Homo-oligomer: A and B are copies of this chain.
Amino acid sequence: MNTLAEENYLKALYHLTMQTPEGAYTNYIAAYLQTKASSVTDMLKKLSSKKLVHYKKYQGVTLSKKGKQKALQVIRKHRLWEYFLVEKLNFRWDEVHEIAEQLEHIQSDELINRIDKLLGFPKYDPHGDPIPDANGYYEEIPFLTLFAIPVGEMVTICGVIDSSVSFLKLIENIGLTIGTLIKVEEIFEFDHSLKIAIPSRKTKVLVSQQISKNVLVKIKK
């Protein structure tokens, strides 16, 4: 059983080391968690003594197998609760994160497994991120999302992750219907929103991260 702080570090380390598999830097972890480098060092020592991370002074840190497993269980809970909040309590995508940050720490395997069942064992959360199963296994989306496309690339829209009426209404309204050929013109670092050109309509639209993560595309060759 891990403390709330431990769970938050494990989750952060998972996200950070997936982006840079060679390990995470103390300062970067501190910035990510909005804390100080010295606090990070303290916690890394603690997690290391619990065999949850591989850590050597000044050498960066990676999750151990055990640590990765624990992190995935927290991520599983976070994403399932987000799904629950949107699906069963009609919250909007952008409202659920903070509440899920709290709910992900509720200690009960039985509870989260029943929530999973209630929701019909979803594979992806409302942001288009994959939900690990009870064993920590998950599948990446078999297509690319618009989120993952670099600047300059031309792609064709071939599907959506979220199929709610409200989402479909939105993408139809801005012209991102299935089959449309589009081009990623710019990625704004601030919130990872994208400027998209739609040649067939001779227009451009600004697309949020939440939208881009829910639009599936094929690269045009």
Contacts and interface: CB of A to CB of B under 8 A. Distances in A.
B114 A107 contact: no
A19 interface: no
A163 interface: no
Contact of A115 (B89, B98, B102, B114): B89
A111 interface: yes
Size bracket of the A interface: 10 to 19
A103 interface: yes
A34 interface: no
B114 A90 contact: yes
A118 interface: yes
Interface in A106-121: 106-108, 110-111, 114-115, 118
A18 interface: no
A108 B118 contact: no
Contacts of A89: 111, 114-115, 118
Interface in A152-173: none
A88 interface: yes
Interface in A45-85: 85
Contacts of A115: 89
A172 to B, nearest CB: 28
